[in-house]
Amino acid sequence: MKKLNFLMLFLLAFLFTSCDPAQSLFFVNKEKGNAKVKLILNSKVINEELDKIKTGDSIVFHLKPAGTEESDVQIYFGMGTWRDSEIIEVAKSIKSIEIENDDNLIVYKSEKTITKLLLQNQEGLIWKTTININIDDNLLH
C-alpha cells in the first residue's frame, strides 16, 4: 500500500512540475469545402512567433475540407498557459483576421473584436493552453 501511495504521489508531482504545455492557436476547417484564413499584421507591434511565419505584412493559410489532413493549422506561441494579457498582446499584433469559405467572408478588423474572438475560443481542461477557432456555420454567419 505504501508503494502505491508513493507511486501516486510521484506521478502527481511529475505531472504538475514537468508538464509545461504549449501555447497554440489553431484554425480548424469544419466545413465540407475549402477555407482561407488571412492574418494581416500590425507593423507597429512586434510578435516574434507571427513575424517568423509572415510573408510581407500577412500570413495566409489555405485549409482543406473537414476530415482531411490539411484541414487545420497551428501557430505555436511558446510554452505555458494563455493569460488574458498575452492574448491581448497577440491581438494587438494583428491588424485584421479574414476567414473565408466558398460562400462567406468574415473580417475581424478591430483590436477589440480580435481580442474577443481569441478570448472566447480558449480551451483547456485545467489550464487554458489552446485557442481553437473552428471555421463552421456558427462562425461564418
Whose grid coordinates read 498582446? 89
pTM of structure: 0.83
The tens place of each residue's pLDDT in the chain, 141 residues long, gives 555 555 555 555 555 545 678 899 999 999 999 999 999 999 999 999 999 999 999 999 999 999 999 999 999 999 999 999 999 999 999 999 999 999 999 999 999 999 999 999 999 878 888 999 999 988 876
- Inside any domain, residue 5: no
Query: Based on the structure, what is the number of domains in the chain?
Result: 1
- pLDDT on residue 11: 54
Is beta strand 58-63 parallel, antiparallel or unpaired with respect to 130-135?
unpaired
Amino acid at 44: K
- Inside any domain, residue 1: no
Query: Counting every residue, how long is the chain?
Result: 141
Domain that holds residue 129: 21-140
Q: 96: exposed, middle or buried (C-beta count within 10 Å: 0-12, 13-18, 19+)?
A: middle
- Inside any domain, residue 8: no
